[in-house]
């Protein structure tokens, strides 16, 4: 299938690496820009570390992502109006499975790291007190292969958290929202959670069973 | 005569497009799903496209990927992109974007000469970088909304507006009017196979990463087209408001 632009299909992989890159340690009081830089640098350092096994890398990246992405807000945003229709238990299940989904699918990109670098190119204020930090993933010379990745951050409990990643204009929140709306419209919230759970189990069986088993047991 | 009818039909469709879009911006607002009134048909075509991909394109692309080094694939892609020069340039002109039209002309001159007939993308190394253009983007620039989402057999995701790129861009590049139609469609097949080969992993991973592959692709396409038309990665304000509103949702216990 021929798609519209050369970069269109590349987005999948990039979106994948971007959310992996959407992480990093940041102390309280750090600016949104610093959160993003610490995040991307932290993930790149893990990716570059040849002494780590893929499983160890995934675990480290996961820790960075979980520390810097606000998954409560993210879960609400991707479910939008449907969020209210979920029972508290379902809300918790959804959040767990959604996190797992991101980890399983994007964890597979760890081996695809090709020495890309990240440069912050700008920052702007958004509605609701949010901030967007604009970055470029730099690949190769000339700049024709650079990918624009924006991070949207929102303050919570005195620090900034990433709540969306926008790759070449494609918001991950919007993309998941559209998928989840379709699934819930054709079934129910329970359908969605089951589907996520099923897909995660299948994905984990393919990727790295050992690492995942140890993690899901705790 | 035939030509005039065709033109009238095109105008009628454009008018229809404009009116459907007035309707869709009126119903806009919150949580508006991607506009897809032809979803059952689209899903059918999407299913067919995926089967065609699975049984024909992907296996061929795997073979091509096996026998050709990455550099050769890049060169093939460069050659085709270089041949796309009239489409890019004419659309930039139609969008009154003189700067990018100039860049496309310069790219073509540099890559055709120094880049040995487009094999090497020397222009990009020189910083002559700009985005791909097509007639769908031109119509978007002229203020036409995307209209209904449309899955085109074999060619993939589109919208009613964007589907106009196939005949118009085809006309611009002279395909079908030169008497070399078969040669050109052969060239398209090579381009498609090469492109698919370059994206074997990407597509596999996109399938894995999505919960509902159909709506994931649809949304990806629509968002990406919007960004291309606006020449900006910023989420437009009217969507921004709804997309990031978590206030009215209850807290997690």
Are residues B250 and A180, on separate chains, in Cβ contact within 8 Å? no
Q: Is the pLDDT of residue A37 over 50?
A: yes
- Dist CA A62 CA A67 (whole Å): 8
* Closest by Cβ to A168, choosing from B31, B52, B233: B233
User: Which tens digit of pLDDT belongs to each residue from A12-33?
Assistant: 455 545 554 444 334 456 899 9
Q: What pLDDT is recorded for position B223? A: 93
User: Which tens digit of pLDDT belongs to each residue from A150-188?
Assistant: 999 999 988 999 999 999 999 999 999 999 988 998 888
- A164 contacts in chain B (CB < 8 Å): 243-244
Low-confidence ranges of chain B (pLDDT < 70): 1-33, 175-185, 248-253
Q: Is the pLDDT of residue A141 over 50?
A: yes
Are residues A175 and B220, on separate chains, in Cβ contact within 8 Å? yes
Q: What percent of chain A has pLDDT over 70?
A: 78
Query: Could you say which residues from 28 to 47 on chain B have a Cβ atom under 8 Å away from some Cβ of chain A?
Result: 30-31, 33-34
Structure token digits, residue B253: 């216990």
> In terms of CA atoms, which chain B residue is nearest residue A168?
B233
Q: What pLDDT is recorded for position A154? A: 94
Q: Is A127 helix (H, G, I), strand (E, B) or coil?
A: helix
- B34 contacts in chain A (CB < 8 Å): 178
Cβ–Cβ contact A127 with B under 8 A? yes
Instruction: Note the residue count of chain A.
Output: 218
Give bridge partners of residue B158 from the DSSP assignment.
B150
Q: What pLDDT is recorded for position A7? A: 47
Q: What pLDDT is recorded for position A14? A: 54
CB distance B147 to B161 below 8 Å: yes
Q: Residue holding tokens 């589109």?
A: B158
Best CA proximity match to B155, nearest among A21, A212, A8: A8
Q: Residue holding tokens 């899955």?
A: B151
| Helix-helix angle A54-68:A32-48, to 10 degrees | 170
Are residues B216 and A178, on separate chains, in Cβ contact within 8 Å? yes
Q: What pLDDT is recorded for position B85? A: 87
Name the helix (H) or strand (E) containing A166.
strand A159-167
Q: What pLDDT is recorded for position B32? A: 54
3-state secondary structure chain B: CHHHHHHHHHHHHHHHHHHHHHHHHHCCCCCCCCCCCCHHHHHHHHHHHHHHHHHHHHHHHHHHHHHCCHHHHHHHHHHHHHHCHHHHHHHHHHCCCHHHHHHHHHHHHHHHHCCCCCCCCHHHHCCCCCCCCCHHHHHHHCCCCCCCEEEECCCEEEECCHHHHHHHHHHHCCCCCCCCHHHHHHHHHHHHHHHHHHCHHHHHHHHHHCCCHHHHHHHHHHHHHHHHHHCCCCCCHHHHHHHCCCCCCCCCC
Q: Is A67 helix (H, G, I), strand (E, B) or coil?
A: helix
Contacts of B163 (CB under 8 A, 6+ apart): B136, B150, B152
Are residues B215 and A182, on separate chains, in Cβ contact within 8 Å? yes
Residue A130 pLDDT grade (very low, low, confident, very high; cuts 50, 70, 90)? very high
Q: What are the phi and psi torsion angles at A148 (to 5°)?
A: -85, 120
Q: What pLDDT is recorded for position B209? A: 82
Query: Could you say which residues from 184 to 213 on chain A have a Cβ atom under 8 Å away from some Cβ of chain B?
Result: 185, 192, 195-196, 199, 203
CB distance B210 to A179 below 8 Å: yes
Torsion angle defined by CA atoms of residues A37, A40, A46 and A50, in that order, rounded to the nearest 10 degrees: -100
Mean pLDDT of A38-47: 90
Question: How close A71 gets to chain B, by Cα (Å)?
Answer: 11
> In terms of CA atoms, which chain A residue is nearest residue B227?
A169
Sheet holding A117-125, edge to edge: A117-125, A131-138, A147-156, A159-167, A170-171
Q: What pLDDT is recorded for position B252? A: 43
Q: What is the ipTM of this complex?
A: 0.76
Best CA proximity match to B134, nearest among B99, B107, B95: B95
Q: Which long-range contacts (CB under 8 A, 24 or more apart) does B173-181 make?
A: B173/B83, B173/B84, B173/B86, B173/B87, B174/B86
Q: What pLDDT is recorded for position A125? A: 92
How many Cβ pairs closer than 8 A exist between chain A and B?
195
- Dist CA A179 CA B210 (whole Å): 8
Cβ–Cβ contact B134 with A under 8 A? yes
């Amino acid at each position: 299938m021929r798609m519209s632009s050369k970069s269109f299909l590349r987005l999948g992989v990039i979106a994948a690496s971007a959310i992996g890159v959407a992480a990093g340690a940041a102390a309280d009081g750090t600016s949104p820009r610093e959160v993003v830089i610490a995040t991307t640098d932290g993930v790149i350092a893990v990716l570059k570390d040849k002494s780590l096994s893929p499983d160890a890398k995934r675990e480290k990246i996961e820790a960075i992502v979980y520390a810097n992405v606000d998954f409560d807000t993210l879960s609400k945003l991707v479910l939008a109006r449907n969020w209210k229709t979920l029972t508290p238990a379902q809300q918790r299940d959804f959040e767990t499975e959604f996190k797992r989904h991101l980890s399983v699918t994007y964890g597979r990109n760890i081996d695809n790291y090709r020495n890309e670098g990240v440069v912050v190119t700008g920052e702007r204020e958004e509605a609701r007190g949010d901030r967007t930090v604009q970055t470029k993933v730099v690949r190769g010379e000339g700049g024709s292969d650079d990918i624009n990745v924006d991070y949207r951050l929102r303050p919570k409990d005195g620090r900034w958290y990433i709540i969306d990643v926008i790759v070449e204009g494609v918001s991950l929140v919007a993309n998941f929202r559209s998928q989840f709306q379709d699934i819930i419209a054709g079934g129910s919230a329970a359908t969605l959670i089951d589907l996520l759970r099923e897909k995660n189990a299948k994905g984990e069986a393919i990727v790295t069973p050992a690492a995942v088993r140890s993690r899901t047991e705790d | 005569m035939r030509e005039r009818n065709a033109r009238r039909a095109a105008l009628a469709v454009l008018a229809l497009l404009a009116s459907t879009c007035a309707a869709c911006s009126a119903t806009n607002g919150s949580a508006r799903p991607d506009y897809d009134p032809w979803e059952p048909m689209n899903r059918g075509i999407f299913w067919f496209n995926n089967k065609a991909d699975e049984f024909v394109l992907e296996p061929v692309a795997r073979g091509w990927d096996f026998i050709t080094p990455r550099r050769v694939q890049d060169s093939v892609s460069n050659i085709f992109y270089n041949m796309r020069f009239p489409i890019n340039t004419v659309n930039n002109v139609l969008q009154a974007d003189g700067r990018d039209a100039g860049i496309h002309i310069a790219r073509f001159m540099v890559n055709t000469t120094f880049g040995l007939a487009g094999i090497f993308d020397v222009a990009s190394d020189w910083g002559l970088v700009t985005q791909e253009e097509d007639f769908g983007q031109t119509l978007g620039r002229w203020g036409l909304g995307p209209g209904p989402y449309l899955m085109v057999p074999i060619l993939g995701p589109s919208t009613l507006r964007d589907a106009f790129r196939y005949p118009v861009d085809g006309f611009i590049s002279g395909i079908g009017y030169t008497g070399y139609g078969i040669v050109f469609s052969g060239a398209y097949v090579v381009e498609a196979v090469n492109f698919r080969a370059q994206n074997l992993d990407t597509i596999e991973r996109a399938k894995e990463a999505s919960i509902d592959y159909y709506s994931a692709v649809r949304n990806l396409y629509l968002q990406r087209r919007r960004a291309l038309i606006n020449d900006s990665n910023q989420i437009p304000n009217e969507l921004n408001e709804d997309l990031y509103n978590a206030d009215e949702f209850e807290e997690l216990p």
